[in-house]
Amino acid sequence: MPKKTAAANRKKFLADLKASLVDMKAKLLAEIDSELKAEREGNKDEGMDTYDLASEERDREINFILSDRERVKSKQIDDALERMEEGSYGVCESCGLEIAEERLDAMPFTRLCRDCQQDQEREAKSQRRFEDERNTYRKIGSTDADEENI
Ligand SMILES: [Zn+2]
């Protein structure tokens, strides 16, 4: 029953990946916590114990101090974990096929398989080329109507 084995392997792979994402998130939070503490030390008028803060207030503070990079990363981890809960994680959003494990290992936040990603990049590139050409046509005085007649 090779198919069943593959499914079980996939399940194990996703469980491992989930554990590493949870770990990543914990490290990120620890990093943020130490930044918070450093912030506190430079500001001695405030209370001594960061952890006495109501969690809502603490969340607000974390959001305030969080850099964009940390915020994006934290959001990406949360999104990935959420998709794991729903069972939609690791499935290409474009073609619906399973994303290769090597790819998920390297880029755990990707939502597209390699083929679809390449298609999308190619499309974006040709879209840019098209825009460039249009701009060039405009510069030499061609109009939209002319292009439609080609
Ligand atoms: Zn795909």
Return the domain boundaries, the chain: 2-112, 113-150
State which fold the 2-112 domain adopts.
Four Helix Bundle (Hemerythrin (Met), subunit A) (1.20.120)
C-alpha distance across the termini of the chain, in Å: 57
What separation in Å is there between the alpha carbon of 117 and the centre of ligand 1? Answer: 7
Mean pLDDT, rounded, for 117-136: 90
* Chain-centroid distance, C-alpha 103: 14
What separation in Å is there between the alpha carbon of 114 and the centre of ligand 1? Answer: 7
What separation in Å is there between the alpha carbon of 121 and the centre of ligand 1? Answer: 13
What separation in Å is there between the alpha carbon of 113 and the centre of ligand 1? Answer: 4
Closest CA to 116 of 88, 83, 91: 91
Q: What percent of the chain has pLDDT over 90?
A: 51
- Determine the Cα–Cα distance for residues 134 and 136; give it in Å rounded to an integer: 5
What separation in Å is there between the alpha carbon of 103 and the centre of ligand 1? Answer: 12
Q: Give pTM, 2 decimals.
A: 0.66
- Per-residue model confidence (pLDDT) at position 62: 64
